Amino acid sequence: MNRERLWELALWTISMGVCLLLVWIVGDLAWRGAGSLSAEFLLDEPQRAGREGGIGSLLVSTTWIVGTATAAALPIGFFCAVLLAEASGRSARLAHWVRMSLDMLSAVPSIVFGLFGNAFFCIALGLGYSILSGGLTLACMILPILIRTMEEALRAVRREQRLAATALGLSRTTQLLRILLPAAAPGMTVGLVLGIGRALSETAALIFTSGYVTRFPRSALDSGRALSVHIYDLAMNVPGGDRRAYASALVLVVILLALNCAVRLVTTRFSRRLAA
């Protein structure tokens, strides 16, 4: 067996190992938590610290928090990624320092973002413990991942495509909309999914910003407990809450997988329309 075949076998082995790990995690959650799933569990509010009732209000709060974070971070991340990817000349040095800053921010612990969000959004801006504070804090957290992933996706577009578009006399805006975005859409989708995944699974930052309240939120200024915070609380602070924690974690993983598939489907159709 030659070296190329060995590398191929190693890559396939690693890939299958990752897939088996995902199947094992989902299977373990389903084995331990599927018995607690029901319509009432998905629609009702938690009762007795989560030992009874459901996670309906938590799903609403989580949707609002993640939606706020995505709505705030996606436009900023997209335009910043475009500027960094297309930077040249004098702006290239500034882009270098911006990239270094983003890499440093991506390594900052989530608890630090939580303290920042509490000090700035909750206290300085007067938003208090609210869904809006939690969403904006998560937006700050996912921006470095979003920007750097989208930038690399744009920079990965083949140079020949750029040269061909320039030779045809296309403007830079037309090149971006008709050439670069369709080609970079799969890579940019990865950044979006990673950002949403981190927002869905975040706990520490939301404890200091969105709060613990389990009732159904009426507005973005209401406090709301995210599903990830609820899972942590059930597992660590509530005696007898393990089954409900596994069921809640199973719902969270299913939501993440469904979002992954939905975003990829929408992006694929969008890129095909742009390329048509």
State the Cα–Cα distance between residues 239 and 245, nearest whole angstrom.
11
> Could you read off the pLDDT tens digit of each residue along the chain, which spans 276 residues?
677 888 888 889 999 999 999 899 889 988 988 888 888 888 888 888 778 888 999 999 999 999 999 999 999 998 898 888 877 656 777 888 888 888 888 888 889 999 999 999 999 999 999 999 999 999 999 999 899 888 888 888 777 777 777 777 777 777 777 777 777 877 788 788 888 888 888 888 899 999 888 889 888 999 989 999 999 888 888 888 888 899 999 999 988 888 888 877 777 776 666 555
Q: What radius of gyration do the chain's Cα atoms show? A: 22
pLDDT digits (tens, 9 = 90+) for 158-189: 777 777 777 777 777 777 777 777 778 777 88
Give the pLDDT of residue 88: 62
Is the residue at 238 inside a domain?
A: yes
Q: Locate tokens 């067996």: which residue?
A: 1
**One-letter amino acid identity for 127?**
L
Is the residue at 45 inside a domain?
A: no
Give the pLDDT of residue 136: 95
Is the residue at 40 inside a domain?
A: no
Q: Is 89 left (phi over 0), alpha (psi -120 to 50) or beta?
A: left
Is the residue at 3 inside a domain?
A: no
Is the residue at 208 inside a domain?
A: yes
Is the residue at 156 inside a domain?
A: yes
Residue 59 tokens, joined: 């799903």
State the Cα–Cα distance between residues 226 and 230, nearest whole angstrom.
6
Residue spans of beta strands (DSSP E) within the chain:
46-47, 52-53
Q: Locate tokens 């949403």: which residue?
A: 196
Give the pLDDT of residue 264: 74
* b/e 197-213 (16+ beta carbons within 10 angstroms → b): bbbbbbbbbbbbbbbeb
Task: Assign residue 193 the CATH number of its domain.
Answer: 1.10.3720.10
pLDDT digits (tens, 9 = 90+) for 35-57: 888 888 888 888 887 788 889 99
Give the pLDDT of residue 122: 93
DSSP states along 96-157: HHHHHHHHHHHTS-HHHHHHHHIIIIIIIS---SSHHHHHHHHHHHHHHHHHHHHHHHHHTS
Q: Please give the tally of structural domains in the chain.
A: 1
Give the pLDDT of residue 275: 58
Is the residue at 43 inside a domain?
A: no
Domain that holds residue 244: 53-275
Is the residue at 17 inside a domain?
A: no
